Structure 1
Amino acid sequence: MRIIGGKYKRRRFDVPKSFNARPTTDFAKENLFNVLQQYLDLEGLTALDLFSGTGSIALELLSRGCSRVVALEQRREHALFIRSVVRELGEERSLQVLQADVFRYLATAKGGAQYDFIFADPPYKLSEIATLPQLIHDSGLLRTGGVFVVEHPAQYDFSALSYFSERRVYGSVNFSIFALEEPEEAEEDSAEEP
């Protein structure tokens, strides 16, 4: 696994061969972060990485300037690996690893922390992928003005959702991008008396 940008650019970490994870390819990851620059300046932002797997995206976010990253990974072996990389980098205060089920976390998240950026890379066989964007929206985890990205197989189409922004395809990797816009301010004219 390689970090491709930011202060830890070119750092490599050996992922155990026993891992049953499908990390985002470097090509797709690089293109995703290029697209994200149109939406957010990651410097100083908070981020949540759901289904963190090897921690590749969480570490990339940290490397590119996020002040706080939370990586959620259900598998103990994977969570321990991410924690070991975080310790090696000396970033325990900036990157927190939670070993937890994503759907339970989303169900109990209301009123908790909010994030500027949320990324989800669920297992492609997971039947609940179709519900993730709405669950994220309803959870209140995404701060107004924030961006949510889900990596998913080609058969999913989220374009009908109100906060859907665009879809990007890189080989077999599909990213659907959602932007939670600031509420439109009332026009000054409508506030004025006739």
Structure 2
Amino acid sequence: MRIISGKLKGIRFSPPKSFPSRPTTDFAKEALFNIIANEFNIDNITVLDLCAGTGSISFEFASRDAISVTSVDQHGPSLNFIEKTAKKHELNQIQTRKQDLLTFLKQTEQTFDLIFADPPFAYKEYESIIQLVFERKLLNDTGLLILEHDKNNDFSNVPEFMYLRNYGGVNFSFFEYVTE
């Protein structure tokens, strides 16, 4: 796992091999951040990284000076790795929360400019993520929700759906508030 851009560009991280996560490939991550950089000034946004796993996405946002990055995962060792790595590289804008992602979405009072969710591909509650984010108004007015998923999910019927991008076996679906 490496950082694509920002103050930590090129730095590699090696999470323990026993981690129960599937990090976003560098190819897909680079394409994703090109899209995000066209939508936002990353150094002016607040980010929620759900199912943070190895922290790859959180570290990428922090390396690019996002205002704050909240990394949520229910796997304690993953969060310990994120905390230790963030401290080592002085990524002070990263905060971690050990919690199930749906529970976090139901309880948080925070709002974000960008929410990224990367649950396991077999996850059955993608629609619940979308519903909670938009019903609870967890995105700021011009905010963006991005779901990483496999080819077996199609969200094009969801009113907030904007578009899908595919990079190999990785799919990103983008959502925003519906404007009238």
Q: TM-score, normalised by structure 2?
A: 0.95
Distance 1:36 1:156 in 2: 22
Q: 1:137 aligns with which of 130, 134, 138?
A: 134
Distance 2:7 2:104 in 1: 30
1:118 — aligned with what? Answer: 115
Alpha-carbon contact 1:3-1:11 (below 8 Å) kept: yes
The Cα offsets for residues 31-63 of structure 1, whole Å up to 9 and x where unpaired, read as: 011112232221221000000000000110111
Distance 1:53 1:169 in 2: 21
Distance 1:130 1:179 in 2: 14
2:173 — aligned with what? Answer: 176
Specify the code of the residue in structure 1 equivalent to 2:96: V
2:101 — aligned with what? Answer: 102
When the two chains are superposed, the root-mean-square deviation of aligned CA atoms in Å is: 1.3
Specify the code of the residue in structure 2 equivalent to 1:168: R
2:86 — aligned with what? Answer: 86
Give me the identity figure in percent: 40
Alpha-carbon contact 1:39-1:147 (below 8 Å) kept: no
- SS of match in other structure, 1:2: coil
Distance 1:35 1:44 in 2: 16
Q: TM-score, normalised by structure 1?
A: 0.88
1:1-194 alignment to 2 at 5 Å? 1-92=1-92, 94-109=93-108, 112-180=109-177
Deviates more, 1:29-38 or 1:145-154: 29-38
Distance 2:39 2:156 in 1: 18
Structure 1 residue 13, shift from structure 2 partner: 1.3
Alpha-carbon contact 1:75-1:99 (below 8 Å) kept: yes
Larger Rg: 1
Q: Which runs of 5+ in 1 are unaligned?
A: 185-194
Aligned residues: 180
Deviates more, 1:130-139 or 1:61-70: 130-139
Q: Which runs of 5+ in 2 are unaligned?
A: none
Alpha-carbon contact 1:61-1:69 (below 8 Å) kept: yes
- SS of match in other structure, 2:147: strand
